[in-house]
């Protein structure tokens, strides 16, 4: 058990920084790809006027708020 602990600790010191670096690089790469895809699909320029048109066909409908009840105004009685 003790030998396993020290071996695991030694291997973690060697490989953990490399694994963390790869995970962070991959996450950054995925984030950049998502941002590029989002910009390409939502923003379109018209060739004539250089106007920006926002494509809202894929956007979600805003959530409707449910009415819970009517507001009742009251006065405190001393």
Q: Which of 12-21, 45-54, 67-76 is most confident?
A: 12-21
Say whether pLDDT at 2 is over 70. yes
Q: What confidence tens digit (pLDDT) does each residue in 18-60 have?
A: 999 999 999 999 999 998 888 877 655 545 556 666 666 555 5
Of 52 and 7, more confident:
7
Cβ proximity of 55 and 44 under 8 Å: yes
How are beta strands 52-54 and 43-45 bridged, if at all? antiparallel
Q: How many CA atoms lie within 13 A of 5 on its CB side?
A: 2
* pLDDT confidence of residue 46: 45
* pLDDT confidence of residue 65: 62
> Which residue do the tokens 């602990």 mark?
5
């Amino acid at each position: 058990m003790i030998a396993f602990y020290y071996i695991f600790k030694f291997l973690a010191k060697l490989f953990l920084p490399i694994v963390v670096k790869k995970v962070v690089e991959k996450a950054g790469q995925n984030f950049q790809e998502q941002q590029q895809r989002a910009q390409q699909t939502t923003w379109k320029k018209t060739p004539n006027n250089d106007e920006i048109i926002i494509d809202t066909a894929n956007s979600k409908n805003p959530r409707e708020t449910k009415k819970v009840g009517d507001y009742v105004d009251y006065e405190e009685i001393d």
